[in-house]
């Protein structure tokens, strides 16, 4: 078993330092590896004009379990299974893709394409303490006390989005992922066991654009709902 991460850090030893500070290193009970040490240059399946460096461990593993945090994101609206796959990417490619695809719509589709490179076999979302509002860099925490799990990350993200009062079809990454056959977002196609009710007074994020990429001022507010 390997526990790994590709945090958005730079410099020698930064991956191990991030694992230590976050508690992942200790929590892995000796299974943590710096999966950024070996990477492979691959083309995105639906965008063969785009290449990225991806951890070989991710591409070669027999079973992949993705463990995202329940977070909002000012650029992509939520961070769940699909957005967590951005951690497959090694080195400066994360920043490069942000620069190459600055619009909400285009960047959301790139994230879904990265997710498609290695679809997780299981997703476990840590929603014990969530980030709300204009995440991911803020201190607006929400104590939900939830753990969510699914064998389909797109369906899981759709449930998560409804829990915070956002329709999944308005999240371009999920909409696109569903279009290319990675999972359902329609509520009628997803079987939910347990309590996935809407979280009370959860602050939704602002987002700079509509799902198509055009401005939509005032449509997504960072306010209690």
Separation of alpha carbons 95 and 184, rounded Å: 29
The count of C-alpha atoms lying within 13 angstroms of the C-alpha of 8, restricted to the half-sphere facing its C-beta, is: 11
pLDDT in tens, 21-58: 989 999 999 999 999 889 999 999 999 999 999 999 99
Instruction: Pull the structure tokens for residue 21.
Output: 């500070």
| 3-state SS, residue 3 | strand
Full DSSP string of 131-155:
E-SS-SSS--EEEEEEEEEES-HHH
The pTM of this model reads: 0.88
The whole-number average pLDDT for the span 204-212 is 62
pLDDT in tens, 107-149: 999 999 999 999 999 999 999 999 999 888 888 999 999 999 9
The radius of gyration of the chain from alpha carbons, rounded to an integer in Å, stands at 17
Predicted confidence at residue 128, as pLDDT, reads 97
Separation of alpha carbons 80 and 55, rounded Å: 20
Domains of the chain by residue range: 62-189
Residue 218 has pLDDT above 70, yes or no: no
The 10 Å Cβ neighbour count of residue 94 is 19
Predicted confidence at residue 129, as pLDDT, reads 96
């Amino acid at each position: 078993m390997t526990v790994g991460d590709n945090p958005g850090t730079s410099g020698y030893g930064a991956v191990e330092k991030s694992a230590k500070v976050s508690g992942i290193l200790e929590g892995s009970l000796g299974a943590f590896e710096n999966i950024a040490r070996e990477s492979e240059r691959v083309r995105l399946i639906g965008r063969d004009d785009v290449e990225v460096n991806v951890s070989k461990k991710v591409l070669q593993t027999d079973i992949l379990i993705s463990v995202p945090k329940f977070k909002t994101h000012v650029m992509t609206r939520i961070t769940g299974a699909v957005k967590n796959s951005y951690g497959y990417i090694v080195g400066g490619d994360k920043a490069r893709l942000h620069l190459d695809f600055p619009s909400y719509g285009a960047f959301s589709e790139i994230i879904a394409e990265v997710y498609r490179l290695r679809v997780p076999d299981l997703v476990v979302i840590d929603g014990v303490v969530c980030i709300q509002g204009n995440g991911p860099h803020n201190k607006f925490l929400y104590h939900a006390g939830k753990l969510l799990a699914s064998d389909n990350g797109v369906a899981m993200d759709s449930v998560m989005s409804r829990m915070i009062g956002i329709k999944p079809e308005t999240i371009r990454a999920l909409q696109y992922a569903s279009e290319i056959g990675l999972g359902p977002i329609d509520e009628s196609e997803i079987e939910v066991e347990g309590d996935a009710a809407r979280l009370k007074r959860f602050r939704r994020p602002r987002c700079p654009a509509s799902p198509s990429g055009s401005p939509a001022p005032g449509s997504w507010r960072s306010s209690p709902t």
